[in-house]
Structure 1
Amino acid sequence: MGSPTARGLAAAAIVTAAVLAVLAVPVGAAGAAGTADWSAAWAAGVHHPVPGNDWDGPNWSVDGFTGESVRQVVRVSVGGTTLRVRLSNRYGTQPLRLAGASVGSSGGGATVRSGTLRPLTFQHRSSVTVPAGAEVVSDPVRLGVAALDRLAVTFYFADGTGPATFHQGALTTTYRATGDRRTEPGAEVFGSATSHSWYYLTGVDVSGPAPRRAGRGGSDGRDAAWGTVVAFGDSITDGHGSSPGADNRYPDQLAERLVAGGRRLGVANVGINGNKLLADSPCYGERGLTRFHRDALGQPGVRAVVVLLGTNDIGGGGFPDFGCGASPVVTAADVVDGHRALVRAAHRRGIQVVGLTIPPWKGAFGYDTPPNEAVRDRVNGSLRAGVGYDALVDLDRLLADPADPDALRPEFDAGDRLHVNDAGAELIATAVARALR
């Protein structure tokens, strides 16, 4: 971070766009995963606290919170009658004391709809202490939510938290206020203190039949959610390049199509901007080989995982360390072996796993070099030949400019020749939804 080249590393998270299309294999065959009581309605991959910068904006992760409430708004992909909330202190430097928390239906901005606020408890207590490196899950709470509803989750931290485990690229507004504001339905107390990251919050799970909502279509409100599709990748999965505040990331648009088609599947987006398959980063998360077990296979009700990783390993290989970790040069064999390891891990759990080829990047700053392009071509060739994925979506060809196949089609380019815009995300979501039917 702190330079255009470092920003290029984060941008390289192109990986996600194609991931969902991989779901061509029927998601219903879960094998050992089975039918779970809970489905992940929303999720986020978290990483180390890092300072804000000129490109991603400020964030509160380094200083954390003291005597403050944090209200975070998320959109759930599937509905239910009961929900629970997950939070993480994985990268904290001290035990995290959560003095209290609440959840309610969002009324827009920092407001909560009247009559929907519910306290969250942890083993029947309003407060909980989360050891450094640990995660906790709230007790179930009765609150009917429909697919594509927005929820407001409010955490109150009476004591200093220290640096906060967080997800930097939320593309959604988070609010902060002094004092305990868990039961405040209005937005006035939160003022203008906002951020565009998520803090400590890693998941919202649902169980039970979802209430019907006019105009949502698909479900008759009687059937319960029966599984989770995990979108695993870097910045395209994370939504970089899509419109902030619009829920236009491709996993969001996939969820919309599943709802319209009556598919009762949660979509858990655990993409992290700049993430690599093979190398850890203090800014862009643990390597995919490590976090796959927790962030993908560890989601409740997981039935399928779609994988698009390797863009940053190849394109950022050899970049200097700008404070976000080394970027070792990789070979095509290194990347392909990494994909094979993910496939084996998923299959050991009886979970279907689908792969996506690495999209075009001609003209992308730092990534577009002849050696990098040669490695990308070899990796894609190996993925097409078969590395064990249950299905493969060829994102390279889906997004390529017909006049220049090494480049993104202009109408899908977010502006950096690397990431897709809303239209590109829609194309991916549509292709994936069709593959799932």
Structure 2
Amino acid sequence: MKQALRDRRPTWFAITRRNLLRGALATTLAASVLTACDEDDKVTHWYGSWSAAPQDYNEPFPAPPPPSFFDNQTIRQVLRTSIGGDQVRVRFSNLFGTSPLKIDGARIALSAGSSSIKPASDTELRFNGNASATIPAGGELWSDAAKLEVGAGEDLAVSLFLATETALSTMHALGLQTHYVVAGNALSTETLSGAETRSSYYFISGVDVRSSAKANVVVAFGDSITDGAGTTPDTHRRWPDYLSRRLQSDGSAVSVLNAGIGGGRILTDAIGPSGVNRFERDVLGQTGVTHVIFLLGINDIGLSAFVPEQEVSVEQMTAGTQSLIDKAKAKGIKVLLGTLLPWKGANPGGAPYYSEAGEAKRQSFNAWIRANKTVDGVIDFDQALRDPADPLALLPAYDSGDLLHPNDKGAEAMANAVDIRLLAVQP
């Protein structure tokens, strides 16, 4: 974690120590599913293939250490698709910016590993036909469609040039992926030699692909466990990644989007807006969304050890969750609820987190999930990851070391607990 200070990605447990929890902007700019006919009169659709839930770089953190801006620099960010298509578009985000974001150029290409791209695939991204764009504070903007054939599970490199001083604002902290920053306009440079490395995502929040195949889009909506804390960086071993690969191996045309934010809660703004404040944007606003897997609540329980005045009841948690279920169902989106994982002794960073009172809340919340008749399915992550010798605790083989976050094997076990028949495209 040598880049932790440089890329402003504090550890999850350090962040939760800070009692600087303020509200965050929750602007919803939903992208609709577009249907068109191409030159062969073939019906095509747009589907979300990658996402990173937007967060505010400056909230709830104190003033960031330098450098807190980009200036005459190219940022090359690497991401992995879930499903493929013959065209792509990228969503650029200034959601938490307090001034306009000027994009002076952007390109997309197939990644060749590390900072390198495959030159033959290098493709310009344009905005309403223009090579540059200005996104107002609080806004998001899709690029125009770009012709680029991409496969399922393929690594893409999105290169962004910021010619003038640009304050860091909208980002996704726990990127778990190495990105590259160099001076000047290096958008089409094959390899960014001597680049500075970062591991958070900046100013991008989604990639859509166009396909003639019918597909489903599943949004994994959660906290640090969904975001991948405890898994190995640069290996795509978050549980939604494993689920995406399971679906690909099964031949299913199903995209899995990760909408996890480390430290996130159902009801209270923490790191990024709360679940009830971001659900419409991060779930309902995803292109082609058909399903959501909901796994939030452990931080609503555990964070009361740090901020007792923000303690919530199980009744408040269930009411907040049910309000989101109802919103999804009203849009025709299928909902799968995940039970909260075992956490006995959880001590992220050596901080108190687990308690007997908190465990009683987890048990009550999980009982409500298992009995919920308004959803389309329940994924019993609790049962799948518990230690048979101590059912309140994570199985040691699945523990990343803090008794809270699953490691790579645990993330894979979570993905294996999902009945993928519930996600299948219906004929």
- 1:192 deviates by 3.9
Which of 47, 52, 68 is the aligned partner of 1:39? 47
Residue 158 (structure 2) pairs with residue 158 (structure 1) = no
Asked if 1:205 corresponds to 2:211, the answer is no
AA paired with 1:43? S
Flag as ranges the 4+ runs of structure 1 deviating above 6 A: 1-4, 32-36, 59-62
Report matched runs for 1:75-94 at 5 Å. 75-94=80-99
After superposition, the C-alpha distances for 1:52-96 in whole angstroms (9 at most, x for unaligned) are 99xxxxx99971211111000001011000000001000011000
Q: Is the 8 A contact 1:44 1:270 kept in 2?
A: yes
- Amino acid paired to 1:310: G
Q: 1:122 to 1:114 in 2, by over 3 A?
A: same
Which residue of the partner structure matches residue 303 of structure 1?
A: 290
Structure 1 residues 405 and 106, CA, compared in 2 at 3 Å: closer, same or farther?
A: same
User: Which residue of structure 2 aligns with residue 367 of structure 1?
Assistant: 353
**Which residue of structure 1 lines up, in the alignment, with residue 326 of structure 2?**
344
Change (3 A) 1:305 1:327: farther
Structure 1 match to 2:245 = 256
Give the number of equivalent residue pairs: 388
The 5-angstrom pairing of residues 7-406 of structure 1 reads 7=15, 37-50=45-58, 63-188=68-193, 191-209=194-212, 224-281=213-270, 284-320=271-307, 328-365=310-347, 366-386=352-372, 388-406=374-392
* 37-46 or 157-166: bigger deviation: 157-166
CA shift for structure 1 position 367: 2.1
Alignment RMSD: 2.4
Distance in 2 of aligned mates of 1:171 and 1:93: 26
Aligned-pair CA distance for 1:327: 6.4
What amino acid is the match of 2:321?
H
Q: Secondary structure at the match of 1:330?
A: coil
Deviation at residue 434 of structure 1 after TM alignment = 4.2
The answer (yes or no) to whether the contact 1:258–1:433 under 8 Å persists in 2 is no
CA contact (8 A) 2:12 2:263 kept: no
> Alpha-carbon deviation of 1:330?
0.9
For 2:208, give the aligned amino acid. Answer: D
Q: CA deviation at 1:266?
A: 1.3
Distance 2:66 2:414 in 1: 32
Amino acid at match of 1:37: H
Over 3 Å counting, the alpha-carbon distance change for 1:197 and 1:5 in structure 2 is: closer
Q: Secondary structure at the match of 1:314?
A: helix
Aligned counterpart, 1:22: none
Unaligned runs of 5+ residues in structure 2 are 1-8, 19-31, 36-43
Output the TM-score relative to the length of structure 2: 0.86
Superposed CA offset, 1:337-383 (max 9, x none): 11101110101101111101111100102221111111111111111
- The change in CA–CA distance for 1:73 and 1:403 in structure 2 (over 3 A counts) is same
CA contact (8 A) 1:318 1:328 kept: no
The aligned residue for residue 25 of structure 2 is none
- Report if the CA contact (8 A) 1:104-1:151 is conserved: yes
How far residue 8 of structure 1 moved from its aligned partner, in angstroms, is 5.7
Assess, with a 3 A threshold, how the Cα gap between structure 1 residues 423 and 305 changes in structure 2: closer, same or farther: same
Instruction: Indicate how the Cα distance of structure 1 residues 148 and 38 shifts in structure 2: closer, same or farther if over 3 A, else same.
Output: same
62-71 or 349-358: bigger deviation: 62-71
Distance 1:307 1:3, change over 3 A: closer
Identity of matched residues, %: 39
User: Any gaps of 5 or more consecutive residues in structure 1?
Assistant: 11-31, 54-58, 210-223, 321-325
Task: Please state how far the C-alpha of 1:201 moved relative to its aligned partner.
Answer: 0.7
Check conservation: 2:259, 2:282, Cα contact below 8 A. Answer: yes
Task: Give per-residue Cα distances to partners, 1:305-353, cap 9 Å, x unaligned.
Answer: 0000011000112414xxxxx8611111011111101110101101111
- TM-score computed with the length of structure 1 as normaliser: 0.84
Contact 1:60 1:195 in 2 (8 A): no
Asked if structure 1 preserves the Cα contact closer than 8 Å seen for 2:182 and 2:195, the reply is no
Which gives a bigger RCO, structure 1 or 2 (Cα 8 Å, sep 6+)?
1
Checking the alignment, whether the CA contact within 8 Å between 2:237 and 2:411 is kept in structure 1 is yes
The alignment partner of 2:206 has SS state of strand
> Partner letter of residue 201 of structure 1?
I
Q: CA distance change for structure 1 residues 311 and 34 in 2, over 3 Å: closer, same or farther? A: farther
Q: 1:152 deviation in Å?
A: 0.4
Distance in 2, matches of 1:40 and 1:208, equals: 11
Q: 1:114 deviation in Å?
A: 2.4
**1:215 corresponds to which residue?**
none
Higher strand share: 2
Matched AA of 1:84: R
Distance 2:287 2:12 in 1: 38
Counterpart contact for 1:50–1:62, Cα < 8 Å: no
